[in-house]
Amino acid sequence: MSKMITTPCFFEPWLQFKNPIVRHLAFSIASPNILADIPEDLSLKHYFELHRDSIWQTHYQNYETRLKQLDQQPQPLIDFLAQLKSTRLGLRFENLLWFWLLEDDYHPYQLLGHSIQKIAGAMTLGELDFVMFNQETKQVEHWEVALKYYLGEGKLDLAQWFGLNREDTLQRKLKHFTERQFQFTEANNHRIQRKFAVMKGQLYLPSDQNQFNLPTWVNTTRRLGQWGTHIPTEPFYRLQRHEWLCPDQGVSSQPAIWWTNGLYYHHTPAPSFYMYRQASLLFNLT
């Protein structure tokens, strides 16, 4: 099954905030998953779910007042993220969600554990990102979170979405979710009742195609980017690495004159993302 691209009115409230870190936090909470549904051709060994877009919108609305406070006085968030020594965006995203989950006046979750290791003897079986008690549903939930950027190729089938490291594919990540990360039925003496993948970031469509039949599982309520091996004519500028979560409110670099691999952006007349890749880094294009 496939669907044509439409042009929805995007819900992007993170763009109103001035402080870059607060913009990142707002994006981490408010943005929808990159997938609307679990692909039908994914073989599910251990069942998991995706949150509906409306859930993230509600979480944002409940937290908006706090975000505005942090935009004026961001030091608590800055101090919290300063504990993270890694520069990996995926870990930054996880820690932003952790900060939000710890502020339990703004959401229905009671955090029961973070980065819970499952060990059998000398063997580590896996690690659970977040386990929490949902006080609305009265159920214990296990969340695995991921920040991913995938470039679609060919007919945009599940196996044709590649990360910047081409061994990191969307199909491989979803398979890892269902076979490994969601294998556990309990954590910290709590029986897990629901399992959710929180998968944010961005998907990119090939710029050398004019029309697409998107798989139904691609979430088109969020902004899709483009990718290509040619330099576009629009006045893009190159985003700093941290801006892959959300561009700073002001332009962070000069308009691109010469191009290196990376994510480029312009915001007029509408926000547009372009992932530039040198052709020498690609292979097996279909």
Mean pLDDT of the residues in the chain: 93
Closest to 128 in 3D by CA, of 35, 44, 190, 56:
190
- Asked if 22 and 70 count as a contact pair (C-beta separation under 8 A), the reply is yes
- Distance in angstroms (rounded) separating the CA atoms of residues 272 and 225: 7
Residues 15-73 have pLDDT tens digits of 999 999 999 999 999 999 999 999 999 999 999 999 999 999 999 999 999 999 999 99
Closest to 25 in 3D by CA, of 106, 86, 139:
106
- Give the pLDDT score at 19: 98
- Distance in angstroms (rounded) separating the CA atoms of residues 131 and 140: 7
Burial 46-80 (b: 16+ CB within 10 A, else e): eebebbebeebbebbeebbeebeebbeebeebeeb
Residue type (1 letter), 195: K
Task: Calculate the alpha carbon distances from 174 to 34, 55, 165 in Å.
Answer: 12, 21, 16
- Asked if 172 and 158 count as a contact pair (C-beta separation under 8 A), the reply is no
- Distance in angstroms (rounded) separating the CA atoms of residues 130 and 244: 23
Written as tens digits, the pLDDT of the chain (286 aa) is: 555 444 458 999 999 999 999 999 999 999 999 999 999 999 999 999 999 999 999 999 999 999 999 999 999 999 999 999 999 999 999 999 999 999 999 999 999 999 999 988 778 889 999 999 999 999 999 999 999 999 999 999 999 999 999 999 999 999 999 999 999 999 999 999 999 999 999 999 999 887 888 999 999 999 999 999 999 988 999 999 999 999 999 999 999 988 999 999 998 888 999 999 988 755 544 3
- Give the pLDDT score at 284: 47
- pTM listed for this prediction: 0.93
